[in-house]
């Protein structure tokens, strides 16, 4: 939002707070459709909405919607966490190798990526997909994470778990602790790779989107997840190991793909987490038990890029349009707030500033004290709440008059005593 463009504000006193409600003509910080001719496109979009509403009013007409092959699916916007599409997103299911997203982020956060890991016999004996580690070899933890994410190495998963957690069981405990911290309320991990060797190794599409959103805030994870090919030293051969990413969305199918993780077991079927970015619009798609997962993800991303724009609803910095002398030009937000909106939703956003009743003595307010909150609503649903900070003028800040007065006094003093 460009706060200088706020069109109207209603102010009322509630208890010890001022409530300032603003209708917000937000500022688009990026459009998934590109910037060229955006004004004309918006006119056509609004005309299309009117025509569409007329069509939908015809008896027997069914509103079109995204259709995916997945039993469970979710599409989430990275910055805000807004869910743009869901299909049984909270259904508890087996998840196969997308489990390794948790294994990877724990390894990265351990701070041990440069350490050498000695590969155990247990790691080498791990079933399923493998990077063909050798018992007793020493390999950097970072290379193991690449082997885990690009080639889905179950041997790499066990080696990571033993090194980072002290044991596989110790690492599984760490996985469930992290899941709790992130808010994955319907998840329980029982191994570091996702094989069907435990009945209680389960999650949901929504929980896996939460995990991916968390992991994508880590630059090292983003780099590894988005790597197409990685070379790792091979201690017993004259050539390097070369690992090509199994995620075909990233390597060949979708130009906006930025990473993700594939998965498959006989019981879980095909599972897939993928991320995509177009301009400033970043999204996460998760599908569980999806026979046509590549196309599911492309359809989800393309529909969202077409239907939504990323809007800056609140801008970092000074809050305008507050007339009270104590707060005017002295309250600010320490970060911005952006949110994906459809064209129809753009007119439905409002911001309500809830500010403390001004005190009689300005000196009672400390620098950077929270003066209230900026609550953002989409229709009647609150979608964000940001602290509003008070920043009074510094004690050594002086007006031009005070500065002139001091200079004049100094000169007069020189004349009197000179």
The predicted model scores a pTM of: 0.80
Domain boundary among 307, 330, 358: 307
Domain presence at residue 339: yes
What pLDDT does residue 17 have? Answer: 52
Domain boundary residue, one of 307, 340, 364: 307
Evaluate whether residue 11 is within a structural domain.
yes
The residue-averaged pLDDT of 108-133 equals: 97
- Extract the tokens encoding 15: 């208890």
Which domain does 197 fall in, by range?
Answer: 72-307
Q: Are 198 and 191 in contact (CB under 8 A)?
A: yes
- The residue from 3, 100, 269, 330 that is catalytic is 100
Q: Is 93 a catalytic residue?
A: no
**By the 8 A CB rule, do 134 and 124 touch?**
yes
Judgement on whether residues 327 and 264 belong to the same structural domain of the protein: no
Mean pLDDT, all residues of the chain:
83
Which range has the worst mean pLDDT, 99-103, 264-268, 374-378, 408-412?
408-412
The CATH number for 317's domain is 2.30.140.30
**Bridge pairing between strands 309-314 and 27-31:** antiparallel
Q: Is residue 25 in some structural domain?
A: yes
User: What sign for the dihedral angle of Cα 209, 215, 221, 222?
Assistant: positive
Let me know if residue 53 belongs to a domain. Answer: no
In tens, the pLDDT along 81-96 reads 999 999 999 999 999 9
Between residues 201 and 380, the one the model is more confident about:
201
Candidates 72, 97, 274, 315; catalytic one = 97
Q: What value does the CA radius of gyration of the chain take, rounded to a whole number of Å?
A: 28
Extract the tokens encoding 405. Answer: 């007065």
Give the list of residues 6+ apart from residue 299 with CB closer than 8 angstroms, or none.
Answer: 66, 68
Whether residue 303 sits in one domain with residue 346: no
Supply the CATH number for residue 151's domain.
Answer: 3.40.710.10
3 state SS of 214: helix
**171 and 206 assigned to the same domain:** yes
> Is a pLDDT exceeding 90 seen at residue 5?
no
Nearest residue to 381 via CA among 334, 345, 417? 345
- pLDDT tens-digit series, residues 314-362: 999 998 877 777 788 888 999 999 999 999 999 999 999 888 876 665 5
Residues 23 and 119 in one domain: no
How many domains does one find in the chain? 2
Within-domain flag for 60:
no
Rounded distance, CA 195 to CA 217, Å? 27
**Is the same domain home to 192 and 171?**
yes
143 pLDDT more than 50 = yes
Q: What is the DSSP letter of 417?
A: H
Tokens (6 digits) for 173: 């405990």
Greatest Cα-to-Cα distance within the chain, rounded to the nearest angstrom:
98
Distance separating alpha carbons of residues 99 and 203, to the nearest angstrom: 9
Per the annotation, the verdict on 225 as an active-site residue is no
| CA pseudo-torsion sign 276, 29, 336, 27 | negative
Whole-angstrom distance, CA of residue 227 vs CA of residue 156: 17
Does one domain contain both 130 and 11?
Answer: no
Pick the catalytic residue: 129, 152, 257, 274?
Answer: 152
225 and 124, same structural domain?
A: yes
Q: Which of 283, 307, 331 is the last residue of a domain?
A: 307
Residue 152 is among the residues annotated as catalytic for this protein: yes
Q: For residue 288, list its beta bridge partners.
A: 72, 271
Residue 77 lies in a domain: yes
How far apart (Å, rounded) are the C-alpha atoms in residues 133 and 147?
10
157 and 278 both lie in a single domain:
yes
Same domain (yes/no): 116, 20: no
The pLDDT value recorded for residue 329 is 84
In this predicted structure, the answer to whether residue 2 has a pLDDT above a threshold of 70 is: no
pLDDT of 276 > 80? The answer is yes
Residue 8 in any domain: the answer is yes
Higher confidence at residue 364 or residue 82? Answer: 82
Do both 279 and 357 map to the same domain? no
How does residue 112 score in pLDDT terms, banded at 50, 70 and 90? very high
- pLDDT value of residue 386: 95
**Over the stretch 206-235, which tens digit does the pLDDT of each residue have?**
999 999 999 999 999 999 999 999 999 998
Tell me, yes or no, whether 197 and 285 share the same domain: yes
Same structural domain, 333 and 221: no
The answer to whether residue 92 is domain-embedded is yes
Query: Residue 250 in 3-state DSSP?
Result: helix
């Amino acid at each position: 939002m460009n706060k200088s463009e706020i069109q109207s504000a209603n102010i009322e006193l509630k208890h010890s707070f001022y409530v300032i409600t603003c209708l917000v003509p937000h500022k688009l910080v990026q459009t998934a459709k590109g910037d060229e001719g955006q004004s004309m496109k918006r006119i056509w979009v609004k005309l299309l909405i009117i025509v569409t509403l007329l069509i939908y009013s015809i008896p027997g007409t069914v509103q079109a919607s995204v259709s995916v092959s997945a039993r469970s699916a979710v599409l989430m916007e990275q910055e805000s966490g807004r869910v743009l599409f869901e299909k049984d997103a909270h259904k508890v299911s087996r998840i196969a190798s997308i489990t390794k997203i948790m294994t990877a982020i724990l390894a990265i956060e351990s701070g041990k990526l440069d350490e050498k890991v000695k590969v155990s016999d247990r790691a080498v004996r791990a079933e399923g997909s493998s990077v063909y580690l050798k018992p007793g070899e020493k390999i950097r933890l970072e290379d193991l994470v690449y082997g885990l994410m690009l080639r889905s190495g179950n041997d790499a998963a066990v080696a990571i778990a033993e090194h980072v957690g002290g044991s596989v069981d110790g690492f599984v405990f760490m996985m469930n602790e992290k899941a709790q911290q992130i808010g994955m309320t319907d998840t329980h991990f029982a191994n570091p790779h996702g094989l069907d060797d435990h009945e209680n190794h389960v999650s949901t599409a929504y929980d896996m989107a939460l995990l991916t959103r968390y992991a994508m805030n880590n630059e090292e994870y983003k780099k590894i997840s988005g790597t197409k090919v990685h070379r790792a030293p091979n201690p017993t051969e004259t050539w390097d190991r070369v690992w090509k990413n199994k995620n075909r969305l990233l390597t060949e199918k979708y130009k906006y793909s930025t990473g993700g993780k594939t998965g498959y077991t006989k019981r879980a079927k095909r599972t897939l987490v993928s991320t995509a970015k177009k301009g400033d619009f970043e999204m996460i798609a998760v599908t569980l038990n999806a026979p046509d997962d590549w196309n599911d993800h492309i359809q989800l991303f393309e529909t969202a890029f077409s239907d939504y724009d990323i809007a800056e609803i609140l801008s970092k910095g000074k809050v305008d349009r507050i007339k009270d002398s104590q707060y005017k030009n002295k309250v600010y937000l320490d970060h911005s707030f952006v949110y994906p909106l459809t064209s129809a939703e753009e007119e439905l956003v409002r911001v309500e500033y809830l500010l403390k009743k001004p005190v009689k003595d300005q000196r009672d307010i400390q620098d950077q004290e929270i003066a209230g909150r900026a609550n953002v609503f989409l229709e009647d649903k609150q979608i964000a709440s940001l602290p509003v900070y008070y920043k009074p003028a510094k004690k050594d800040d002086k007006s031009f008059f005070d500065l002139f007065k001091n200079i004049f006094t100094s000169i007069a003093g020189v004349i009197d005593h000179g």
